Amino acid sequence: MKRISWIDIAGGIVVVAILALAPVFAASNYLTGVLTVCVIYGIWASSWDFMSGLTGRENFGHSLFIGAGAYTAGFMATIWFTNPWYSIPASIVVAVTFSLIVGFPTLRLRGPYFALAMLSASAILQRLCLIFWEYTGGEEGLYGLDPMMRSPLHYYWFVLAILVVTVIILTLLARSHWGLLLRAIRGDEATCQAAGINVTFYKIAALAISAAFAGLGGALYAHYQLQVSPPLFSVVTSITVIIMCYVGGIGSIYGAAIAAILLTLLTEMLRGFGEYRLWIYTLTLILILFFLPNGMVAPFWRRLTERFR
Partner 1 sequence: MTALLEVNDVTKRFGGLTAVKGVTFKLQKGEITGVLGPNGAGKTTLFNMLTGFMQPTAGTVTFNGEPLKNLAPYQVVNRGMARTFQLCRPFVGMNLLENVVVACLSPRANSDKDKEDRAQHLLEQVGLGGRGSEPVETPPYGDLRRLEIARALATRPDLLLLDEPFAGLGSSEIEPLAQLIKKLHREEHLTILLIEHKLREFMALVSRVIAMNFGEVIAIGPPEEIVKNPKVIEAYIGKTEDAHASA
Site residues, partner 1 (CB under 8 A): 1, 177, 180-181, 183-184, 186-188, 190-199
Shortest Å distance, C-beta 194 to partner 1: 6
CB of 166 to partner 1, least distance (A): 24
Task: Specify the residue, 184 or 205, whose C-beta has the smaller distance to partner 1.
Answer: 184
Residue number with CB closer to partner 1 (145 or 192): 192
Rounded Cα gap, residues 214 and 166, in angstroms? 10
Closest to partner 1 by CB, 199 vs 247, is: 199
Residue 61 vs 255, nearer CB to partner 1: 255
**Smaller CB separation from partner 1, 18 or 194:** 194
Residue 221 has a CB neighbour count (10 Å cut-off) of 25
Q: How far apart are CA 202 and CA 211, in angstroms?
A: 14
Q: Considering beta carbons, is residue 177 or 271 the nearer one to partner 1?
A: 177
Residues facing 227 on adjacent strands = 143
- 202 contacts: CB under 8 Å, gap ≥ 6: 55, 178, 181, 182, 185
Task: Please name which of 130, 126, 146 lies closest in space to residue 78, comparing C-alpha atoms.
Answer: 146
Shortest approach of partner 1 to residue 252 CB, angstroms?
13
In angstroms, what is the minimal distance from the CB of 195 to partner 1?
4
Least Å from the CB of residue 191 to partner 1: 5
Residue 29 or 193: the one with the smaller Cβ distance to partner 1 is: 193
Nearest distance, CB of residue 257 and partner 1, angstroms: 22
Give the shortest CB-179-to-partner 1 separation in angstroms.
11
